[in-house]
């Protein structure tokens, strides 16, 4: 793999620490890497604009070879007892513990999030491995009483098949693990298309688990990877893939949903978020400060759960704005590998343009700049992707406020009653994450009730970001409705079968139907 010399000493160090032999292939079936001959895909770091490395994208022929291997592997993998599959996932978790530091550094450098967030993302892999190990002994079905004498009814869950995983750049490794680890203990095999903006993170993960696959004689094809944007449509149109998990924009999600539904496949869609925090007159503003600032500027606003809107009670509005302005003035913008910096770069210059355009639209539609934005020059890191987190006073009805902009832009607005605040929170097309800061039990319960937040995630006295793997992750409306990670999200990766056993000597029909012959 080619590593650019500019500022490459530290980068080369953590890449070497990953102890991988190859980072330049574009397709893999586990231990075997295909010599792909597709178009060259370069990975540039938004940190300093340097070329980290290049891969050759998979071709359609490569894809077909990978899928053939995966479908054959499924026939064997599904018959391995679930607890033994869980043991293999446990060993993968140990590998990620071993490589947490260098993989976290690669995530930070290739994607641009802070090192702490990069390490946190690898910790999510470790945590979901632990969760999946326990789950491998808890794939429970139900037993039901039959209305017919000497009959027993129950349901069981069977492995689904090949699961397609299409992940986004903002969480280049964690979202894959949320899907793959659960799918594997359920008996499925996986084909992963990592984001073309962060391909090396995906390839690194494939290398990290290779030792576990080899040591346990895991069938070739249980863990597959293909790179390149063309792979997405191949996965979405492939009738051999019963489930596609897609993370990305609402715009692309609509296309994925249509293609997969057209062949009667299933989807898990994790799409846009336009997340709000309600700041009550009964809130502890010191807690609001931490939740709102991290939610708005963490990952440079490039989380689907990033805080986009702050809905503040009129009685504490001015005080809250003053606190936020002071906090924003102390933010340090720069190299995300430096732990002293709070905000790293956006993923690329296209994202910078989206950020700048959103600010201009907000101004045109009547917004008032509370904290100015703009491109931030960072000495020694001239990638051109650093921007200033900004705060804009706006109305919820503004067209730009109704949209998700993947950047550190926080819109602030006032409310008078809690019912008005909840209506504003719900008054956007997206429905992923939501939060209220209050010490009023009535407000808490109302926010969490059927008359409250319409999002898949609703928090009290914590921010909109930072979901734990124990709970099912996902949202409603234009967020897609999918669920990943914890709780009973595992059911999406299996097929349900209802079984009825007649252990008597007669054959009574259900509903008392008589059919004499």
Q: Each residue of 67-77: pLDDT tens digit? A: 999 999 999 99
Q: Is the dihedral of CA 409, 199, 488, 117 positive or negative?
A: negative
61's CB contacts (< 8 A; 6+ apart) are none
Per residue in 306-345, pLDDT (tens digit) is: 999 999 999 999 999 999 999 999 999 999 999 899 999 9
> Residue 514: is its pLDDT beyond 70?
yes
Selected catalytic residue, list 117, 121, 220, 270: 270
Tokens 């910096």 correspond to: 341
Measured CA to CA in angstroms, residue 160 lies from 82, 228, 240, 497 at distances of 14, 25, 11, 11
Side by side, the strands of the sheet bearing 494-502 are 143-145, 151-159, 494-502
> Residue 417 CB: number of other CB atoms within 10 A?
10
d(CA 128, CA 487): 11
d(CA 411, CA 284): 20
Q: Is the dihedral of CA 23, 25, 29, 34 positive or negative?
A: negative
DSSP 122: H
Confidence at 18, pLDDT banded by 50, 70, 90: confident
pLDDT (average), residues 208-219: 96
Measured CA to CA in angstroms, residue 495 lies from 81, 191, 217, 268, 463 at distances of 17, 19, 26, 14, 35
> Can 186 be counted among the known catalytic residues?
no
Backbone angles phi, psi at 13, to 5 degrees: -65, -45
253's CB contacts (< 8 A; 6+ apart) are 246, 269, 271, 272, 480
> Poorest-confidence range of 211-215, 381-385, 459-463?
381-385
Per residue in 384-435, pLDDT (tens digit) is: 999 999 999 999 999 999 999 999 999 999 999 999 999 999 999 999 999 9
Measured CA to CA in angstroms, residue 233 lies from 86, 175, 236, 480, 510 at distances of 31, 19, 5, 18, 45
Give pLDDT, residue 20.
60
3-state secondary structure of 366: coil
d(CA 176, CA 14): 21
Cα angle 159, 162, 164; round to 5? 125
Confidence at 5, pLDDT banded by 50, 70, 90: very low
Confidence at 35, pLDDT banded by 50, 70, 90: confident
Q: Is the pTM of this model over 0.85?
A: yes
> Can 304 be counted among the known catalytic residues?
yes
Angle subtended by helix axes 82-98 and 199-215, to nearest 10: 120
Token couple for 193: 């298309």
CB 492 within 8 A of CB 266: yes
Upper half-sphere CA count for residue 445 (Cβ side, 13 Å): 3
Among 208, 128, 210, 202, which residue's Cα sits nearest to residue 172?
202
Residues 237-257 as b or e (16 or more Cβ within 10 Å = b) = ebeebbbbbbbbbbebbeebb
Residues 371-406 as b or e (16 or more Cβ within 10 Å = b) = bebeebebeebebbbbbbbbbbbbebebebbebbbb
Give pLDDT, residue 381.
87
Token couple for 151: 């009959």
H helical segments located in 365-431: 418-426
Backbone angles phi, psi at 131, to 5 degrees: -60, -45
pLDDT (average), residues 148-170: 98
Confidence at 10, pLDDT banded by 50, 70, 90: low
d(CA 228, CA 203): 12
Tokens 């010490």 correspond to: 439
Give pLDDT, residue 8.
53
pLDDT (average), residues 238-243: 98
d(CA 450, CA 441): 16
Let me know how long the chain is: 517
Token couple for 418: 């809690």
Among 77, 84, 182, 211, which residue's Cα sits nearest to residue 124?
182
CB 244 within 8 A of CB 256: yes
Write out the H or E segment, with its range, that includes residue 157.
strand 151-159
Selected catalytic residue, list 304, 385, 390, 455: 304
Residues 507-516 as b or e (16 or more Cβ within 10 Å = b) = eeeeeeeeee
């Amino acid at each position: 793999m080619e590593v650019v010399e500019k500022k490459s000493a530290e980068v080369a160090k953590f890449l070497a620490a990953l102890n991988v032999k190859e980072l330049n292939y574009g397709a893999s079936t586990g231990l075997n890497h295909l010599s792909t001959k597709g178009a060259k895909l370069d990975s540039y770091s938004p940190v300093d604009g340097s070329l980290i490395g290049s891969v050759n994208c998979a071709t359609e022929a490569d894809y077909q070879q990978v899928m053939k291997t995966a479908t054959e592997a499924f026939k064997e993998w599904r018959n391995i007892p679930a607890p033994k599959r869980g043991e293999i996932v446990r060993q993968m978790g140990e590998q990620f513990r071993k490589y947490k530091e260098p993989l976290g550094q690669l995530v930070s450098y290739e994607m641009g999030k802070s090192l702490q967030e990069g390490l946190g993302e690898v910790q999510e892999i470790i945590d979901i491995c632990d969760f999946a190990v326990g789950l491998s002994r808890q794939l429970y079905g139900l037993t039901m009483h039959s209305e017919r004498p000497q009959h027993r009814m129950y349901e069981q869950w069977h492995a689904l098949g090949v699961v397609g995983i299409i992940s986004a750049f903002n969480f280049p490794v964690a979202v894959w693990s949320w899907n793959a680890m659960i799918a594997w203990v359920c008996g499925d095999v996986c084909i992963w298309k990592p984001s073309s903006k962060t391909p090396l993170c995906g390839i690194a993960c494939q290398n990290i688990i290779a030792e576990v696959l080899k040591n346990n004689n895991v069938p070739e094809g249980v863990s597959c990877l293909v790179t390149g944007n063309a792979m997405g449509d191949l996965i979405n149109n492939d009738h051999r893939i019963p489930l596609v998990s897609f993370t990305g924009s609402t715009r692309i999600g609509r296309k994925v949903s249509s293609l997969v539904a057209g062949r009667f496949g299933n989807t898990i869609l994790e799409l846009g978020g336009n997340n709000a925090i309600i700041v009550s007159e009964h809130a502890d503003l010191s807690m609001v400060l931490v939740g709102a600032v991290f939610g708005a500027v963490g990952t440079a606003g490039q989380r689907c759960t990033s805080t986009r809107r702050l809905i503040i009670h009129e009685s504490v509005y001015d005080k809250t704005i003053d606190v936020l302005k002071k906090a924003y003035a102390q933010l340090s913008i720069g190299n995300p590998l430096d732990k002293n910096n709070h905000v790293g770069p956006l993923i690329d210059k296209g994202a910078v343009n989206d950020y700048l355009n959103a600010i201009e639209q907000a101004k045109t539609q009547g917004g008032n700049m509370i904290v100015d934005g703009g491109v931030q020059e960072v000495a020694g890191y001239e990638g051109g992707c650093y921007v200033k987190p900004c705060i804009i006073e706006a109305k919820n009805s503004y067209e730009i406020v109704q949209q998700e902009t993947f950047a550190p832009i926080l819109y602030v607005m006032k409310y008078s009653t809690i019912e008005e605040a909840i209506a504003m929170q719900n008054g956007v097309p997206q429905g992923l994450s939501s939060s209220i800061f209050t010490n009023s039990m009535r407000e808490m319960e109302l926010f969490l009730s059927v008359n409250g937040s319409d999002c898949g995630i609703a928090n009290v006295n914590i921010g909109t970001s930072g979901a734990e793997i124990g709970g099912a992750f996902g949202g409603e409306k234009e967020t897609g409705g999918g669920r990943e990670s914890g709780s009973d999200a595992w059911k999406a990766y299996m097929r349900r079968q209802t079984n009825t056993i007649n252990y008597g000597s007669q054959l009574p029909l259900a509903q008392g139907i008589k059919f004499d012959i």
